[in-house]
Structure 1
């Protein structure tokens, strides 16, 4: 069984497609913040030039303030298992004018916000120089190796996961259920109405509907890099089930 590593899950959570909260060292209330990441997974924060957060950061003078970016997973359905919570901690440094264009392009690669066009006029970028990354899950979790985090990549299917699962449930339930049942039966698991609860590049997390062993992983033959590869993989199952 293969599933995303803790480092991959943290990179997926912190990528920028989910809402983030910024905790500053001496501020008790977390602040919503728009964010992306650079190629090494360091968070980039997009901050309005005339907003309260910008003023709070500048009030600290030349010293780089400490902060924690927290991102909670938003599962594709209310009863689906969560990837957990990602946290990146470190020091916040403003991105200088000479580096802002390159930083904005890296930000856009992870989270293409239209307001990035205002960097340098209406908005500024801050980079969180990471000193620690944590992944917290229902099963526990803890600190991650920073080199493993930097080397990992976000899941390429995560952004489309909810729409893909809805489409499969709405239009292909009759084809998927027997496919899931057969795969589960080969592992000695009986399930009357199995359904896909989560999807990532390595496979499905299937809801068996059983009180024990409710969530079961079904792996793809190889990791996927695009939605198109998923469509190619599932085409025989969805449109030629008698062959698959």
Structure 2
């Protein structure tokens, strides 16, 4: 069983995730996608509660995505994207999860990228730490 592939497939899905942000109360529902390197991109309303919780950059966050194949937790540090990097990330996001709000990145919506520090997968009855290099190199199954 390829835990890295399952984790990457869950993370790449269009299933809405939840984000837990350091020093913030509660969970935030979040729309997300992965860039080519498997780093989650989080789409937020500019000035919304999640955007404010993630500002400034370098805030610890855990993205959780649960589906039929299990549950994946991806933890890492956030970086707010702007300018050309936000535009490039919006294009990558749209390839995986085409949302109309991506057209307003920089004008009401923003993107934060998570630099992955740890990946954990719950599959069946087992909880597994997934090697970061295996996760990055894994190819996800086609997802919707």
**Whose helix proportion is higher, 1 or 2?**
1
Larger RCO of the pair (alpha carbons < 8 Å, separation 6+): 2
Deviation at 1:97, TM superposition (A): 1.1
Contact 1:16 1:34 in 2 (8 A): no
After TM superposition, the runs of 4+ consecutive aligned structure 1 residues lying more than 4 A away are: none
Of 59, 63, 68, the residue aligned with 2:62 is 68
Contact 2:121 2:127 in 1 (8 A): yes
Deviation at 1:112, TM superposition (A): 1.1
Deviation at 1:98, TM superposition (A): 2.2
Bigger-Rg structure (1/2): 1
The correspondence of residues 10-159 of structure 1 with structure 2, limited to 5 A, is 10-58=7-55, 61=56, 64-73=58-67, 82-156=68-142, 158-159=143-144
**Secondary structure of the corresponding residue to residue 43 of structure 2:** strand
Q: Aligned partners of 2:13 and 2:41: how far apart in 1?
A: 9
Contact 1:7 1:144 in 2 (8 A): yes
User: Where does residue 211 of structure 1 map in the other structure?
Assistant: none
Q: Aligned partners of 1:72 and 1:29: how far apart in 2?
A: 17
**Secondary structure of the corresponding residue to residue 39 of structure 1:** coil
Q: Aligned partners of 1:153 and 1:108: how far apart in 2?
A: 18
Residues 1:50 and 1:28: Cα distance change in structure 2 (over 3 Å) = closer
Q: Aligned partners of 1:12 and 1:41: how far apart in 2?
A: 10
User: Where does residue 183 of structure 1 map in the other structure?
Assistant: none
**Secondary structure of the corresponding residue to residue 74 of structure 2:** strand
Contact 1:47 1:53 in 2 (8 A): yes
The TM-score normalised by the length of structure 2 is 0.93
Name stretches of at least 5 consecutive residues in structure 1 with no aligned partner. Answer: 74-81, 160-244
Name stretches of at least 5 consecutive residues in structure 2 with no aligned partner. Answer: none
**Secondary structure of the corresponding residue to residue 47 of structure 2:** coil
Q: Aligned partners of 1:50 and 1:90: how far apart in 2?
A: 22
The TM-score normalised by the length of structure 1 is 0.56
Q: Aligned partners of 2:25 and 2:76: how far apart in 1?
A: 17
Contact 1:8 1:149 in 2 (8 A): yes
